[in-house]
Amino acid sequence: MKTNSFQARVHEWIVSCFPPLAHHDSHERAHRFLEEALELAQASGCSRADAQALVDYVFSRDQGEVVQEIGGVLVTLAALCNAQNVDMDHAAETELARNWSRIDKIRAKQAAKPQGSALPQ
């Protein structure tokens, strides 16, 4: 990982914000990613019915390969940003800066959530 890349700077924030068990837990990170992806889909006009239909479709298929699926996420996110005239890099930098300013609030939310649950609270 490049030392000043966005990914590396997110890692610095994660390490500063969460205990090691939380930032190394790939299931926790996947749950938070899915939550954010669903919130983006909802904000973009996706209905609950469409989201549920897509969940059923995806889980009826063979499991994908992590690196390829990450590439697919990044390509489709960039395409969605283009369709909505959003600067993806600016949105990412703005959210990372906002997260640094909310560490105490995020830690409290993390501490209050049920352990082992996919739900954030």
Q: pLDDT tens digit string along 27-60?
A: 989 999 999 999 999 999 999 999 999 999 999 9
Mean pLDDT of 4-11: 94
Question: Radius of gyration of the chain from Cα atoms?
Answer: 16
Q: Which of 78, 84, 74, 73 is nearest to 44 (CA)?
A: 84
**Both tokens assigned to 41:** 């889909």
Place of tokens 């560490």: 103
* Residue 117 domain-assigned (yes or no): no
**Rounded CA separation 93/63 (Å):** 31
* Residue 1 domain-assigned (yes or no): no
* Residue 119 domain-assigned (yes or no): no
* Residue 95 domain-assigned (yes or no): yes
Q: What is the pLDDT of residues 56-107, one digit of tens each?
A: 999 999 999 999 999 999 999 999 999 999 999 999 999 999 999 999 898 8
Domain count, the chain: 1
Q: What's the confidence (pLDDT) of residue 1? A: 66
| Those residues with Cβ within 8 angstroms of residue 73's Cβ, 6 or more apart along the chain or in another chain | 37
Q: Provide the domain limits for residue 37.
A: 6-112
pTM for this predicted structure: 0.86
Q: How many CB atoms are closer than 10 A to CB 7?
A: 8
**Rounded CA separation 89/81 (Å):** 10
* Residue 91 domain-assigned (yes or no): yes
* Residue 68 domain-assigned (yes or no): yes
User: Residue 23: is its pLDDT beyond 80?
Assistant: no
